[in-house]
Amino acid sequence: MAFEGLSERLQSALSKLRGKGKVSESDVKAAMREVRLALLEADVNFKVVKDFVARVSERAVGQEVMKSLTPGQQVIKVVNEELTQLMGGQQSKLDLSSKPSVIMMVGLQGAGKTTTTGKLAHHLKKQNKHPLLVAGDVYRPAAIRQLEVLGDQIGLPVFSLGDQENPVEIAERGVAQAKEEGNDVVLIDTAGRLHVDETMMDELKAIREKVEPDEILLVVDAMTGQDAVNVAESFHQEMALTGVVLTKLDGDTRGGAALSVKSVTDCPVKFAGMGEKVDALEPFHPERMASRILGMGDVLTLIEKAEANVDEEKAKDLERKMRTQQFTFDDFLEQMDQVRNMGPLDELLGMMPGMGQMKGMKNLQVDEKQLTKVEAIIRSMTREEKQHPEVINASRRKRIAAGSGTTVQDVNRLIKQFSDMKKMMKRFSSMSKGKKKKGFGG
């Protein structure tokens, strides 16, 4: 999970302050020592750590915190605010005002440039844009084919002239085609190299001169920590980047690149790659990232994911069924599918506030195999059994277990869980009815 290691260390450093009625300067000092170590261990740039700790310490022993009724919470609030600042403060959006807007994607080989080009096009398509992808990575074998496959998958056109043509020519003609065809965004995938080198930079500059991009986005692999920051610095000096995309954040437990890139290069992170699939790209929201790191959850992203993946009508229907106790195993399966569409479950759990601190939850690994088992059991039920689980007697249980390759105990457990869940829904729905009567405002 993203930032797991850093998150754990920071939360443990701050946990001693949480809920304290009185916080002394030495309490703050001790906590800050641990925060400093946690950040250094997360591979955050040394100078960035030093400045960060100095700023937090200064504010934490100030009036605003010490005089408050909940100084421990206030220190955490300060850390949250400063982490947000570190990552750029506000969300930094793409400039898509030109018609067409030209976005040039640059980066080293293997960083995830081609994948990200596809993901970003998909993201823009969902916002009713009509992007054209331009296959300009003539250097890495198979990059052009990869982009064409991605284009097919997301239903977007790809402009390509093969790998024998000059990349400057490809970019220029790609943009010309977009103008002709009325595409409002052009995403140009360019050729990377294994290391920052002059030939690559010269080639990129030549493209930049010809197509005058509105955005130059650098794609870097977050898991490479300070190396990613150094790469960003070199590219920014040469190319005047407009933004950074951090890929592979899903596998980055440390977070050093995410926390240092903006402060070191002064170039904002605009997107984060959270997986290999084409929809695993998130706009980078510093304040939400800070909350996730501090275990305060990220409810906003969770809601956005739900809105993007869950059919509103179906959700309403489900809500009604839950309220009226008509929830069946069919509904259960459907709900499982919808949740799965939103992304890996441990990632989703990490966005729920307090999950990090809950006993036992920290090490909770959502077992996808277990879910597959549940699915197999339900799929082995007859229509009648799914709709009316009460008919499932002992011999039916045996048959279901055999059909799904599980045991009778597995089947028993699922049926028991399902019935407990229904009871809980009943309790919730009567609770919320009570609340509605009284009114929320008091």
* Alpha-carbon distances, residue 395 vs 93, 285, 320, 398, 403 (angstroms): 60, 54, 32, 5, 12
Buried b (16+ CB within 10 A) or exposed e, 133-147: bbbbbbbbeebbebb
Q: Is 107 annotated as a binding residue?
A: yes
Rule CB under 6 A: say whether 273 interacts with ligand GDP: yes
Q: Which of residues 275, 297, 350, 356 is near ligand GDP by CB under 6 A? A: 275
Q: Is 406 annotated as a binding residue?
A: no
Using CB atoms within 10 Å of the CB of residue 47, give its burial: 0 to 12 exposed, 13 to 18 middle, 19+ buried: exposed
Most distant CA pair in the chain, distance:
75
CB of 224 to ligand GDP, least distance (A): 12
Angle at 326 between CA 325 and CA 328, to 5 degrees: 115
Rule CB under 6 A: say whether 225 interacts with ligand GDP: no
Q: Give yes or no for a contact between 196 and 188, defined as CB atoms under 8 angstroms apart.
A: no
Rule CB under 6 A: say whether 203 interacts with ligand GDP: no
CB of 172 to ligand GDP, least distance (A): 21
Q: Is 114 annotated as a binding residue?
A: yes
Rule CB under 6 A: say whether 254 interacts with ligand GDP: no
What values do phi and psi take at 338, rounded to 5?
-65, -45
The structure tokens listed for 104 are 């040039």
Rule CB under 6 A: say whether 107 interacts with ligand GDP: yes
In the block, residue with structure tokens 């450093």: 13
Strands, E, within 171-315: which ranges? 185-189, 215-221, 243-247, 269-273, 281-283
- Contact positions with ligand GDP (CB under 6 A) in 68-87: none
Which of residues 106 and 414 has its CB atom nearest to ligand GDP in the complex?
106
Distance CA 91, CA 288 (A): 10
Q: Which of residues 5, 251, 344, 403 is near ligand GDP by CB under 6 A? A: 251
3-state helix vs strand vs coil in the chain, percent to 5: 60, 10, 30
Rule CB under 6 A: say whether 151 interacts with ligand GDP: no
Classify 142 as helix, strand or coil.
Answer: coil
Name the segment binding ligand GDP (CB under 6 A); options: 75-83, 153-161, 178-186, 270-278: 270-278
Q: Which of residues 43, 203, 250, 298 is near ligand GDP by CB under 6 A? A: 250
CB of 60 to ligand GDP, least distance (A): 35
The count of other CB atoms within 10 Å of the CB of residue 120 is 26
Distance CA 181, CA 382 (A): 52
Q: Which of residues 276, 307, 319, 368 is near ligand GDP by CB under 6 A? A: 276
Which of residues 65 and 220 has its CB atom nearest to ligand GDP in the complex?
220
What values do phi and psi take at 115, rounded to 5?
-55, -45
Taking the alpha carbons of 63, 67, 70, 71 in that order, is the dihedral positive or negative? positive
Rule CB under 6 A: say whether 110 interacts with ligand GDP: yes
Which of residues 109 and 357 has its CB atom nearest to ligand GDP in the complex?
109
Q: Could you please report the per-residue DSSP string of 60-83? A: HTSHHHHTSS-HHHHHHHHHHHHH
Q: Is 113 annotated as a binding residue?
A: yes
Rule CB under 6 A: say whether 111 interacts with ligand GDP: yes
Please state whether the peptide bond connecting residue 100 to the residue before it is cis, i.e. omega within 30 degrees of 0: yes
Q: Is 184 annotated as a binding residue?
A: no
CB of 143 to ligand GDP, least distance (A): 6
Q: Which of residues 85, 91, 98, 109 is near ligand GDP by CB under 6 A? A: 109
Which of residues 111 and 175 has its CB atom nearest to ligand GDP in the complex?
111
Q: Is 5 annotated as a binding residue?
A: no
Q: Is 306 annotated as a binding residue?
A: no
Q: Is 111 annotated as a binding residue?
A: yes
The structure tokens listed for 45 are 């740039």
Rule CB under 6 A: say whether 112 interacts with ligand GDP: yes
CB of 138 to ligand GDP, least distance (A): 12
Which of residues 202 and 276 has its CB atom nearest to ligand GDP in the complex?
276
Count the residues of the shown chain that bind ligand GDP, applying the rule CB under 6 A. Answer: 20
CB of 248 to ligand GDP, least distance (A): 4
State the residue number with the nearest CB to ligand GDP.
Answer: 273
Binding residues for GTP, by number, are: 107-114, 189-193, 247-250
Binding residues, by number, are: 107-114, 189-193, 247-250
Binding site for ligand GDP (CB under 6 A): 107, 109-115, 140, 143, 192, 247-248, 250-251, 273-276, 280
